[in-house]
């Protein structure tokens, strides 16, 4: 897909991009929130493409088989293989595999939806935080605001190891962002202030 086509499709639907894109977006974990609709991937993918973000998302390797791989691969899907490895036969964690991807690639933005689902959850998954911390990668705050019809990257948080302080910054950012179905979005109440 060409950049002009992506810009046209966003404009046709009335969406605009926040022109401020942090430099760190070329190598990061990027949060995609709020995640309340299947339309989120469409707008996020178009927006990140126009912004030049090297966007990838992780998916179980079973989903990357033919014919789905023909769609998921070009959208940025990266197969995660959690089969046991090494002499110990232990399964690597999803967090460990994300950190390894970040360490392996110079230019990669791994998109995560920490809510884990489009249903309302007041406790986010925190594996993205620990993957970024392990890989010494920043966390960029990607968003889709359906009220403003604006997509963008709202800033960067560098994981310090103090998850409470760092996630409070993240919750502070997302508290004023409206998803397509705002009633289905909640901040992580452990860190919301």
Query: Would residue 69 count as lying in a domain?
Result: yes
Q: Which domain holds residue 15?
A: 3-183
CA-to-CA distance for 188 and 185, rounded, in angstroms? Answer: 10
Starting at the earlier edge strand, list the strands of the sheet with 55-60: 16-17, 150-157, 139-145, 27-33, 108-112, 55-60, 77-80
Two tokens at 2? Answer: 């060409």
* pTM reported for the whole predicted model: 0.89
Query: Would residue 11 count as lying in a domain?
Result: yes
Query: Would residue 189 count as lying in a domain?
Result: no
Q: Tell me if 28 sits within 8 A of 109, measured CB to CB.
A: yes
Per-residue pLDDT tens over the stretch 133-166: 999 999 999 999 999 999 999 999 999 999 999 9
Per-residue pLDDT tens over the stretch 22-66: 999 999 999 999 999 989 988 998 998 899 888 888 888 888 888
Domains of the chain: total? 1
């Amino acid at each position: 897909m060409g950049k002009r086509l992506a810009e046209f499709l966003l404009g046709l639907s009335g969406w605009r991009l926040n022109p401020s894109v942090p430099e760190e977006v070329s190598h990061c974990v990027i949060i995609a929130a709020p995640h309340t609709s299947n339309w989120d991937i469409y707008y996020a993918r178009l927006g990140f493409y126009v912004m030049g973000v090297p966007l990838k998302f992780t998916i179980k390797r079973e989903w990357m088989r033919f014919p789905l791989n023909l769609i998921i691969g070009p959208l940025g899907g990266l197969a995660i293989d959690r089969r046991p490895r090494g002499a110990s036969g232990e399964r690597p964690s999803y967090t460990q595999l994300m950190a390894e991807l970040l360490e392996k690639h110079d230019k990669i933005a791994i998109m995560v939806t920490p809510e884990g689902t489009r249903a309302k959850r007041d406790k986010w998954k925190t594996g993205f935080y620990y993957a970024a911390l392990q890989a010494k990668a920043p966390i960029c705050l990607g968003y889709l605001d359906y009220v403003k019809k604006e997509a963008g990257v709202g800033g960067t948080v560098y994981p310090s190891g103090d998850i409470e302080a760092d996630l409070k910054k993240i919750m502070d950012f997302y508290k004023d962002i409206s998803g397509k179905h705002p009633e289905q979005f909640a901040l992580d109440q452990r860190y919301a202030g």
